Chain A
Amino acid sequence: MSEPTLEFEDLKLAYMVRGTAREVLRGVSFAIQAGEAYGLVGESGCGKSTAAYAAIRSLPRNARVLSGAVRLAGRDVLSLKKNELRDLRANTVSMVYQDPSQALNPTIRVGPQLIESFTVMGVDKHEALKRSTAILHKVQIADPDVVMDRFPHQLSGGMQQRVVIAMALACDPKLLILDEPTTGLDVTVEAEVLDLIRNIRTEYGTSVLFISHNLSVVRSICDKVGVLYAGKLVEEGSAQNVFEHAVHPYTIGLLKCLPTHGLRKDAQRLSTIPGFLPSLGADLPTCVFVERCSFADETCTTEVPLWRSLGTSSVRCHHAEKVAGSPAENEIAGVSVEINRKIKPILELVNVSKSFHQGGQSFKAVQDVSLSLYAGETLGLVGESGSGKTTLAHTLLGLHAADAGGKILCDGKELLPGRRRRTLEQIRAIQIVFQNPDSALNRRRSVRKIITRTLRHLARVTPEEIESRLRSVIAAVRLTEGHLDMRPGQLSGGLKQRVAIARAYAGQPRVMVCDEPTSSLDVSVQAAILNLLADIQRESNTSYLFISHDLRVVRYLSDRIAVLYLGRIMEVGPAERVFDGPHHPYTEALLSAVTSTTGSTTSRIKLEGEIPSSMSPPSGCVFHTRCPRRLEGDICSTVEPPLMATPDGGVMRCHIPFEKLGGRV
C-alpha cells in the first residue's frame, strides 16, 4: 500500500493553562489513505478540532506537542521550517471551517480573496482570474463574475461556504480538512453543501478529514470513521460498520441517544450516557470511558485497554466482544397520553401577524397565522431560519406586540398584544425555555434565587410554602439540593438547561414555548433533556410549542406539527402524517434534505434558489419560486392558495389537491 496522505502517530498534545499542561490529545493514531474520506466524531471537548488544527500546525500559542508525529504527504508537519510549512499549506492541504462568514475577510471583495489562493502558488494574475472563474463554476456558482465582485456579507451563508470551499480547492489539495462545515446552516443548505463535497470527492479524488459532531452527516460523507473520546480514539472502522455494528460502549451510547427511525416519545424513552465528560487534562490512567461505562469492571480500572482489531473495526475496550454480543438494553417504553381535542384548546391564535420596520420599510415576519394548542399536547413548529418561528413565539409571549387584527386566546380569554398590558396571571400562563441557557440565566444569581424569585413574584407562593415548592420544582427537573447554591457558571450545559426549564416550569404555566432547547447541547445531553420534557408534560399536562430546526427531535416530541415558510403557515397536521405524507412540497423538501444526510441513497429533492427576503415576498404562493412541484400555468405565481382543511383535522396551503401530494414511499 502506498504511503497514507495523513498519518497521526501517537500524538500527545496539551494546552498550557497557567503553567500546567492540560492534555487534550492523549495519544492519537490514525491514517487517511489517498482518496479516502475519514470522519472524526465525538462530543464537544473530545479534541477533534485540536486534531484537525494539529494536522496543519495551526495551533494556539499555548499548545504544546508532548510526543508523537503528524505526517502529511510524507512530510513531518510538526518539524517543518516556516517557509516549508507555508509551501505545504499553499500546495498540499486546505481547510474549511465552521462559520463561513468569519472565514472570509469582511473588507475585501470575494474576487481578490479567491485569486490570491492561486497567485500564492506562482500563477500569474490573468491565469489566476481565469481559474477562479472556473473553480466557482465547479462549486456550482452560476454567475462567478457577479459573486467575485461582491463583499462576503452580501452573500448568503450557503454561498459563502461555497466560496470558502472554492478557495480550499484552488491548490487541488491532496488533503481537504473540513471542520464542522455545515454546522449552523439550514438543513436544505446543509444538504446542498454536502452534495457539493460528495461531487468534489468523486471528481478530484481528494482525501478528506471530516470533523463533525453530527453522526449522520459523517456517515453520509465518509468511508472510514474514528470515534474520539477525551483525547483518545476508542473505535475505528468503516463508516457502515461503526454505525451499524458499533462495538465500543461509548459509540453505542452515542448512537442510541439519537431520536432516529421515527422514534416518538410515547413509544420509547431515549437512552442517555450517565456522568460527565472528564475535564481537560484530567488524570485518566486506564480506560478513558471507565467512569461512564455500564460494562466497566475491575479490569477496566486497573488495566489500560489496548488498541485491537475486532472483525472489521478496531477498538479500545476490554469487553468489546461482550458488549457487541450483549442484547440491546431494555429500552424503557414511553407512556402514551390521550389528548382530548374535543374540548376547547388551551391556546388559540387567530390570524396573528407581526410586522417590523427597518430602514423606512415595513415587512411582515409573521402573517395571518392561526393555530390551536390543546392541553397536554406538543405542537412542533418547523421551518428554515427566517421562517418566523421565533418571532411567532415571542409575539405569543407578548415580548413584542402583535399587529392589530389578530387574536390570541388563552383558556378562551383574549390576551392583549404586549406583555405590559397582560395580567400577571396571563403572563404566568405562557412561559418559555430559550435555546441557550447561558443567556437565559442571570449569571450573578444562584439557582435558588432564580427559581424562588419566579415562585414568589410570578406564582405568588407564600413565604411559608416557598421551600417546599422549591424542592418539588427541583425534583421535577431532576436537580439536587446541592445545585441550589451554585451559580450558572458553575454548572454544565445540560444542568443549566434544567435550571432554565425549572424557571419556566416554576409558575406552573399552561403553555411552555421551547425555542430550540437542545440545539446548543451535545447529543447525549439532548436525549436527557428531551426525556425530561416528555416526563414533565406527562406529569403536569403542560402544552408545549416546540421549535426546532432538527426534524428528528421535533418528531420525537410532537403530537402535531406546523410548518412555516416566510412567516406563513404551509401546513398543520398530526406528526405522523406530516412526516409520512401526504405533505406539503416544502415539507417534503425539508424531510428529503434530512434523509440525504442519514446516508440513504434516495435522490434528494432539491430546492432551487435561496430563501426570498420577507421584505419582498414572492407573489402568489410564497413558496412558488423554489417549489419543485410548481404547477403548469401561472396559478402558483399569481394566486395565493387558501388554507384547506385536511381529512385529519389539519390544514394545507397548496394548489395541488391533498390526495396528490407526495408522501414517503
Chain B
Amino acid sequence: MSASASLGTAQTEQPDSVSKLALARVFRFFESLAVPLAALLVSFALFGVFVAFTGNSPLDVYAEMYRGAFGTWFSFQNTLLRAAPLMLTGLCTALPARLGLIVIGGEGALVMGGVAAAAIGPALGGAPPPVVTLAMATFGMAAGALWIGAAGALRVLRGVNETISSLLLSYIAIALLNHLVEGPLKDPTSLNKPSTVHIGDHNMLANTPGFDVHLGLVFGIVACLVCYVLMDRTTFGFGGRIVGGNVRAARLSGLGVKKLVIITCCLAGAAAGLAGMVEVAAVHGRANASLVAGYGYSGILVAFLARQNPLAIIPVSLLLGGIGASGGLLQRAFGLPDAAVAVLQGTLFVVLLASETYQGRIRLVPRALGGS
C-alpha cells in the first residue's frame, strides 16, 4: 500500500523527492546506529551493576574511565596506541563478513604477520630502514593473507566452516610462534622471554607527525579508508555485497564466488598481518609471546560493533582502545580486578550479539519518506 502511495510522489514531484531521498538516507544512517548504540548503553548499565557489587560507584568508575581514556593528552595517546592494531584486526572480521563469512581468526593472522615481519627484518641486515620497513610490512601482510586466505579457501573449496577453521588456525599460529621463538628464530640473548632477534632501533617505526604515537595509527586509518572505498564504492565490493546478500543471485549474475571469497579473506588476513608487523616494528622490536595480547579477539568485537562498516571501525576502535587504556587506572584507583575491563568487553559482546535480532526492526524513517 505505502509503496504505491509513495510511487506517485516519486514520479510527480521529482525535485522534492530528491531531497526526500537524501533525508531518508540520513534517517537510515541513524537507524543503523540505533541498535549498536542501545547495546552499548545496556552493557554499560550491566557493567555498572558489576561495579556496584565490588563496592564502587558506577558513575565514579565511568568518570575515571573517561579520564583514563580520553581525559588527558597522555591518556588519549595511550588510547590511540591501542586503537591502531584494533582497526586492522577489526577489518580482519569485517571484510569477510560483508561476504557472509564469520572469520574470528584475526589473532592468528596478527601473530603470523608479526613473526614473518620479525623474521625478515633482521635478515635484511644493513638495508636502509625504509626498505626494511617495507619488506616487513609486505611479509607481515603476506603471512596474514595466507592464514585467513586458507580459512576462506577451505570454506569455498572444501565446505569447511570458516569460523571454526580460522579459530583453530589461530592456535596453530600461536604454537608456531612459540616453536620459532624457542627454536629456529631464537635470539640466544633472550633468556627469560624467548624472542626473535631485535630488528634494530634504527629500523623501528617512526611516530605519527604531531603525536607521540607510532605510524601504525596511520596504517590503521588508511587501511579503514581504503577498505571502505573498496567494499562500498568499487565493482569488487559491489560483487562482494551480492555474494554476501545472496549467493544464488551472485551465481546467477555469473560472479566468481570462490575467487571473491578467497581474495577478500586474503585482504582481511593482510590487515591483521599488518597489525602484527606494527606490533613488532613499533612496540616490541621483536616477535615473542607478547604478540598474543588479544588484539585479534578484540577486533571481532570492533567489527561487530561497527556493523562491519570499515569507516565505523575507526571510532569504535578508539572506544575500545580507550576502554583498554583505562584498565590500569581502574585497578589503581578503585582496586578493581585486572580482568574488569575484560568483563566489560565480554558483556558488550554478548549484549551486542543478543541485540542482532533487533537489527532492522527499529524503524526511524517516517512513512512519508518511504519507510515502512
Task: Say whether A and B bind each other.
Answer: no
Residues of chain B touching chain A, judged by Cβ–Cβ distance below 8 Å, are none
Residues of chain A touching chain B, judged by Cβ–Cβ distance below 8 Å, are none
